[in-house]
Amino acid sequence: MSQLGTLEDLPLRYREELQQLNLAPLWPSMRKVLPHNKPSRKTQPTFWSYQAIRPLLLEAGRITPIEKAERRVLVLANPGLGIENLVATPSIYIGMQLILPGETAPNHYHTPSAVRFVIEGEGAYTLVGGEKCPMHRGDLILTPSGMWHQHGHDGKEPVVWMDALDLPLIYYLEASYAVEGKVQPDNNLPDSSQTRFRRSGLLPYDTLGREKKPYPLMRFPWQEVRGALADLASATPADQAVRLAYVNPQTGEECLPIMGFSALMLRPGEERRLTRRSASSVIHVVEGGGEASVDVVDSRWEEHDTFAIPTHAQVRLRNLSARDPAYLFIVDDAPMQRKLGFYEEFTAP
């Protein structure tokens, strides 16, 4: 392997001429942008305890009215990428959002796509394009790019959900912005997760042969996801993972273009090494407690905790309960990598 030349190898006069013309030689920086065999990473395996976050989020509700916040969110920021950059991985933004009884988070749309994964509380809803989606614990709700959406709360207790957005990529491309709108009318459209697309393998007859909608399903109820995982576990060998992908029910493809979502069940006492992948991801604990090893970083996790997984990381997960399953919700950027043609999975460590 040849040793590449450095910037200091070049005459000062030559470097100055390049700088004046806004030029830069590639070869001194070649291994920085194209390292051999494995990418350079700034992303750190990072763990966020919900028990530590929760009181600070509730305090934000006391000291910052919704009118001053628009969205009352604490962002999970990866220290390796800079706290000020508000990213969990290079392509995934994660925030914990709080809404209090009687509040409305105003109507808007934005260029990044987003999802909401409900952590605790009852009585909140998200209105997406006129479809009112109730927000129950563990539900996944889509707010795709360019779609009007607002949040409201008709209940009696604080509601917290996790936001996941492809904001870092859209912001990097200098394409991130939002448009504010008037309060969105409730068009009394049925919640399609409970009406038109209730069961896997069954579609409304009038959708056959017609153009497929990009986002036919806005809400994925946790009650049904959890039940489907239990059914899958009964037919899955012990050496295979019990994992389900969230998809567009009309196409079978991932439900958003950049971020992918899946649910993983760890059987009682199960320890599992995840396939090493080129994708980065964020894991959120829905139920249960256990241990995680991400590269050389070990952590203990409990219900509602969240941790960031860098690209190409080696990940081991263990359910510490000998009696109950553990359930994990996973966000990744695999759909984007597949579309760009460089997604990889590695069988060796």
Per-residue pLDDT, 53: 98
Q: What is the pTM of this model?
A: 0.94
Give 136-154 pLDDT, tens digit per residue.
Answer: 999 999 999 999 999 999 9
CATH assignment of the domain containing 211: 2.60.120.10
Rounded to an integer, what distance in angstroms lies between the CA atom of residue 266 and that of residue 285?
A: 11
Per-residue pLDDT, 188: 65
Per-residue pLDDT, 31: 92
List the Cα angle 303/284/40 in 5-degree steps.
Answer: 135
pLDDT of residue 1 exceeding 70: no
Confidence of residue 192 (pLDDT cuts 50, 70, 90): confident
Does 92 fall in a domain?
yes
Number of domains in the chain: 1
Confidence of residue 65 (pLDDT cuts 50, 70, 90): very high
CA proximity to 27, closest of 54, 47, 8: 8
Does 36 fall in a domain?
no
Does 33 fall in a domain?
no
117 is in which domain, residue-wise?
Answer: 46-346
Confidence of residue 201 (pLDDT cuts 50, 70, 90): confident
Give 19-49 pLDDT, tens digit per residue.
Answer: 999 999 999 999 999 999 999 999 999 999 9
For residues 200 and 176, the model is more confident at: 176
Per-residue pLDDT, 208: 86
Does 179 fall in a domain?
yes
Does 7 fall in a domain?
no
Strands 73-75 and 114-120: unpaired
Residue with tokens 């392509």: 91
pLDDT of residue 225 exceeding 80: yes
Mean pLDDT across the stretch 185-192?
A: 72
Per-residue pLDDT, 78: 98
Mean pLDDT across the stretch 261-280?
A: 98
Per-residue pLDDT, 3: 87
Does 56 fall in a domain?
yes
Average pLDDT, the chain: 94
Q: Where are the alpha helices (DSSP H) in the chain?
A: 12-20, 30-33, 50-63, 66-69, 167-172, 222-234, 334-340
Residue with tokens 């695999």: 334
Q: What is the CA radius of gyration of the chain?
A: 22
Does 329 fall in a domain?
yes
pLDDT of residue 194 exceeding 90: no
Contacts of 247 (CB under 8 A, 6+ apart): 253, 254, 255
- Side chain identity at 159, as an amino acid letter? V
